[in-house]
Amino acid sequence: MRQDARSESLKAKHAEIETILTEEERRPFPDFVMVQELKKRKLRVKDELERVVHLPDAPSYLPQ
């Protein structure tokens, strides 16, 4: 998968998790375990997105 496609996929996943998290937090009695898990997942996706965005396009750092 190209970097751009991977980046867009991760952004969509991040937004999806954010939507679910927001909905859960708005409930009268949110499931705090679920909220914590969603926050962890969201952070992992964000970290992965940062790695993908900062990777060089061409593997010029590899020996030829």
| Both tokens assigned to 29 | 């009695």
pLDDT of residue 28: 96
3-12, 31-40, 55-64: which range is least confident on average? 55-64
Domain positions in the chain: 1-26
Q: What is the 3-state secondary structure (H, E, C) of the chain?
A: CCHHHHHHHHHHHHHHHHHHHHHHHHCCCCCHHHHHHHHHHHHHHHHHHHHHHCCCCCCCCCCC
What's the pLDDT tens digit per position in 8-46? 999 999 999 999 999 999 999 999 999 999 999 999 999
Q: How far is CA 24 from CA 3, 35, 48, in A?
A: 31, 7, 24
Q: Is the pLDDT of residue 1 over 90?
A: no
